[in-house]
Chains A and B, each alone.
Chain A
Amino acid sequence: MDSGIAMAGQSGATVAVADRSPAAWARVSERVALYLRALGIEDPLHRERLLVRVQQRWEARVSAMPLEDPVEAGIEEAYALLDAWLCTELDITGEIDTLFTARAAVLSGAVPNWTARFAGVSGESIAAQVRAAGVQPEPEPAPLDMEPSTINLCCHDLGRRITGALRVLAGSEPAAAPPRKEQPR
């Protein structure tokens, strides 16, 4: 989404900040920790490790540009961290649908121990499990042409056609100009 929607998300009470002090992060980290927990990361150790990485990303972002809302930026960075990890784990670049499917797979709890891998605690790849847990809602396209059939209604526009014919007979309209015939698709 463009910045327009991002701006729209603000109530107007917040101001642009470039504060990356420990105090500022402390306010943000509380919410990010809550969010990580909502993602399914129950182990405090995993959360701690991930919080450190989110903090790094958040501080880099603060340094690069003033933030409208530091908490929102923290949440975005947590999510971006998840996406980055999934892309690395699955070795994908730019495959948006694959990423979304993988994200749905891990967050639905279909992949055991994914949080350990995400937090960098486990060294064992879980790419196969993530791929296996992914479910595509739609199969590959197998298109068929299906054009609207023609149905010629009897007596449709009959009044107009009779009037047109009568005009032709009466000579008020040249014979070359046929009465308008609306052809139903």
Chain B
Amino acid sequence: MTSESRIGIMGHHYRRILFFLLVLLTTLGAMSLLSVAFQDGGTRPHELVMLGLYAILTLWISASFWTATIGFAMLVTGRDHYAIANADTRAAGAAPSGPFKTALVMPVYNEDPVRVFAGLRAMWQSLVETGQQDGFEVFVVSDTRDPDIWVEEELLWRRWAKEMGHPARVFYRNRVENTSRKSGNIADFCRRWGGRYRYMIVLDADSIMAGETLVEMVARMERNPKVALIQVPPVPVNRSSLFSRMLQFAGSLYGRMFTAGLSYWQLGTSNFWGHNAIIRVKPFADHCGLPKLPGREPFGGEILSHDFVEAALLRRAGWRVWLAYDLGGSYEEIPPTLIDYAKRDRRWCQGNLQHSRLVFARGFKPLSRIHFAMGVMSYMASPLWLIFLVVTGVAAYFQSLVEPVYFFGNNILPVWPETYTVEMTTVLWVTLTMLFLPKILALVLLAAKPALSRQFGGLVRATLSVLTESLFSVLLAPVLMLFQSKFVLAILLRQNVGWPAQQRGDHQTGFAEAFGTHLSHTLIAVVVGFLSYQYVPSFFWWFTPVLAGLALSIPVSMITSRVWLGQLARRAGIFLTPEETAQPRVLHLLEQNLERAGTPLCTTATGGDLWYRAVVDPCAYALHASMLPDETPNRRRRHYLEGLIFQLQDEGLGSLKPNEKRALVSHRDGLFELHTLLWAAAQPPSPGQIAGVAASSGAIHQ
């Protein structure tokens, strides 16, 4: 009996019916409690609004709650009959045969090249340790526009390629035009070299994957020819600030329950998270070319969050998409501060809201529609909570204006007004339970699995970590709610987000940055706190957790960004993760590579403006020129380049913008002309002083 038959329709339906029934019943139960409280004298319009909002929000949090709870049950029992880990469906479908290659595809866009190549080298070293590296190749597909980073990428690529020797296993290309951003970058790779590979493992600039994981991903794909994509959940690692260590702890401890739970009900209609996933290249090329959506940005135009759409398109075409929650060795790095986290959210928010147009598009599987809707809700939940709080506050205010009447008509006995404190308190407790119970379940999981518990620093420290993390979650949640509400509003007002590079690596939030970012939050807390205390004092006390988070946002943002606090917590065993307790080999290799990262290939090309060295330094110049396409610029382009050279001569290096510098080093002919021109200048370049030549003199040729 093959696993394919076991992964039968019945099994899938049973799991999904159970999950959605639990979610629905929980939502209905919570709604009925609230509606009982509202029905005193008929339901008023604002109560209807509150009921509607509460229904949506409860649906959202109960889905998360049941996902985590089911995941907890799966991890405690260790049973999952339908996991992709156990599946072997070769007999059910025509399995491709013959030798094949897998590409580790690293799309980059103005990222830190040292970190990118250190990570790739670590993955390769880990792969070599498995002895299975022969079937793999590394492909850096760069969309980098910054000319200095571009040249540094080339130098680092060349050094590594030289060390690897023959046959060539590491490739690099920089796209001339970066159309359609990351999805366009991957599509370009498929169009040009897709036929070379059966699989590609898509990475991100901060991805790290262990060699055994890479090998196992390929093995699982080989065992299941109808599977087009397996996503391995990345665990956040390697950051040191208090904020990021909290997220790492939460991601590692609660994340494992959530991913197990997601896999329980999503099964072969799981989602693609954009990286740390293996993809069957041919069906991806056949079905995942992304169209432009009609209309203009932010809802029309290019699809920004391509991953969900690609998974949905694969499912629409009949291919399966799995989440390998059981597979470790998949890591990513996260933003180091609250502000950086919010900036990343700003980009993701636009992409996810764009999916609202796809929820009802024709042809998608129902579960793919749910993925789209959940993506939208992950950002829409914030403004909905905000509206819910505002409506609740306004309702409480009007309620406070009503004078209770105890005696009606000729009644001599007072008629006490009905109170619904019990129902309202129950609603609150139900909501809080759904939000916080998964954290308690995580501790129960640790108690049930002592070995795992030790990896989190032991049960006592893990409990302290959960309590501290919960406290900070309460403080940070209102701030994130306001951030996300602002983002949603900006997007609804059709403000585009652009494509800024992400802030990676540890850095700390200064007072000026925190003050500028969170001043509005603090003012809102003061104003709302004053108004509610003045006019609805009873509501004020209920509202204090939200107000406290906003009022303290400046110090909390600064404190949580501190690396020393994160390190202090680590020494105290707080927020420990398994990856910190026993560093995985591949992360150790990454650390080593970063320490050893030193001189790029061309020894004179160290420091300073690398793009300029690619013009002047013969080694860097020859390497860069060898990697440019052999094409002559058209007449218009030539005139443009001439203008830039005049500008360089007359106004010096500092006058050129990054895109102009890039233009100057983008054509072989123009590059050669600049190279000889600078070497013929009155003051010749010399090693160690190369960058200063034109920058200091202004005029190059006198």
Residues of A within 8 A of B (CB): 1-2, 4-6, 8-11, 13-14, 31, 34-35, 38-40, 69, 71-72, 74-76, 79, 96-97, 100-101, 103-104, 107-110, 132-133, 135-157, 182, 184-185
Assess whether A31 is in contact with B289, with CB atoms less than 8 Å apart: no
Cross-interface CB contact of B289 among A74, A107, A108, A149, cutoff 8 Å: A149
Chain B residues near A1: list those with CB within 8 A: 638, 667, 669-670, 672-673
With A5-B673, A40-B619 given, name 8 new contacts (CB 8 A): A5-B670, A38-B685, A72-B677, A108-B158, A138-B171, A148-B291, A149-B291, A149-B313
Q: Does chain A have a CB within 8 A of B367? A: no
Contacting pair B684 A139 (CB below 8 A) = no
A85 to chain B, nearest CB (A): 14
CA distance A106 to B684 in the complex (A): 23
- Chain B residues, CB < 8 A from A133: 162
Which of B356-364, B468-476, B484-492, B538-546 forms contacts with chain A? B356-364
| Shortest CB distance A128–B (Å) | 12
B309 to chain A, nearest CB (A): 8
Chain B hits for A140, CB < 8 A: 196
Interface of A is mostly: loop
How far does the alpha carbon of A169 sit from the alpha carbon of B210 in the complex, in Å?
65
A13 to B309, CA, bound (A): 60
Q: Are B618 and A107 in contact (CB under 8 A)?
A: yes
Query: In the complex, what residues of B have CB within 8 A of residue A152's CB?
Result: 361-363
Whether the Cβ atoms of B622 and A144 lie closer than 8 Å is no
B191 pairs with A146, CB closer than 8 A: yes
CB B293 to nearest CB in A, in angstroms, measures 6
B168 and A108 contact, CB distance less than 8 A: no
23 contacts between A and B (CB under 8 A): A5-B645, A9-B673, A9-B677, A13-B702, A72-B676, A72-B680, A104-B626, A107-B618, A133-B162, A139-B171, A139-B196, A140-B196, A141-B193, A144-B194, A144-B195, A145-B191, A148-B291, A149-B291, A153-B357, A153-B358, A153-B360, A153-B361, A185-B292
Q: Closest CB of chain A to B150's CB: distance in Å? A: 13
Complex Cα gap A157–B300 (Å): 13
Docked complex: B160-190 residues within 8 A CB-CB of A: 161-162, 166, 168, 171-173, 187, 190
Question: How far is the CB of A54 from the nearest CB of chain B, in Å?
Answer: 13
Q: Main secondary structure on chain B at its contact with chain A?
A: helix
Taken together as a complex, chains A and B put the C-alpha atoms of A142 and B191 apart, in Å, by 8
Whether a CB of chain A sits under 8 angstroms from the CB of B267 is: no
Closest CB-CB distance, B610 to chain A, in whole Å?
A: 15
Residues in B whose Cβ lies below 8 Å from that of A142: 192-196
B114 within 8 A of A: no
Q: How far is the CA of A143 from the CA of B630 in the complex (A)?
A: 19
> B194–A108 contact, CB under 8 A?
no
Q: Which residues of A contact B646 (CB under 8 A)?
A: 8
Residue B247 at the chain A interface, CB threshold 8 Å: no
Query: Smallest CB-CB separation from B194: which chain A residue?
Result: A144
**In the complex, what distance in Å separates the CA atom of A6 from the CA atom of B686?**
23
Cα A145 to Cα B286 in complex, Å, equals 7
B625, A137: Cβ atoms under 8 Å?
A: no
